[in-house]
C-alpha cells in the first residue's frame, strides 16, 4: 500500500516502512505525527484519487532526526564590471519514518 502526501509545499510517494526527508517540521525527535493531506492512496492496481484530498485518509509517521542538506553554492558574476557575489545555503530537513497508512 502506498500514498501520495503533501507537506512543505511538495508531494511525496510513501509506503509503510520508508524513510523520507521533508521540509522542516516543528516536532521533537521520536514524536509521532499524523499527515492528513493525502492526495492519493493505492494498493496494487486499485487507486483512490482525492479531489483534492482523499477523505478520511491519514499517514502516521515518526520523527527520526533533524538536519541540514548539503550546501548549495550560488555564484553571480558580471563580466568586465568587477562584480562577483558568492553565497551559500543549507536547507533544513526533518527525516520521517512512515509507520502506517490509514485509508
Band of the pLDDT at 103, cuts 50, 70, 90? Answer: confident
Per-residue pLDDT tens digits for 19-78? 999 999 999 999 999 999 999 999 989 999 999 999 999 999 999 999 999 999 999 999
What distance lies between CA 3 and its chain's CA centroid? 13
pTM: 0.84
Q: What does the alpha-carbon distance between residue 76 and residue 57 come to, in Å, rounded to a whole number? A: 45
Contact yes or no for 103/48 (Cβ under 8 A): yes
Domain ranges of the chain: 2-102
Question: Distance between CA atoms of 29 and 65, rounded to whole angstroms?
Answer: 6
Greater confidence (78 vs 103) lies with: 78
Amino acid at each position: 500500500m502506498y500514498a501520495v502526501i503533501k507537506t512543505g509545499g511538495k508531494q511525496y510517494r510513501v509506503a509503510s516502512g520508508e524513510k523520507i526527508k521533508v521540509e522542516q517540521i516543528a516536532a521533537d525527535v521520536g514524536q509521532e505525527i499524523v499527515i492528513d493531506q493525502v492526495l492519493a492512496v493505492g494498493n496494487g492496481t486499485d487507486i483512490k484519487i482525492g479531489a483534492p484530498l482523499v477523505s478520511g485518509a491519514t499517514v502516521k509517521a515518526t520523527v527520526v532526526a533533524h538536519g541540514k542538506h548539503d550546501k548549495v553554492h550560488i555564484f553571480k558574476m558580471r563580466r568586465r564590471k568587477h562584480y562577483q557575489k558568492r553565497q551559500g545555503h543549507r536547507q533544513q530537513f526533518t527525516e520521517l519514518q512512515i509507520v502506517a497508512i490509514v485509508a
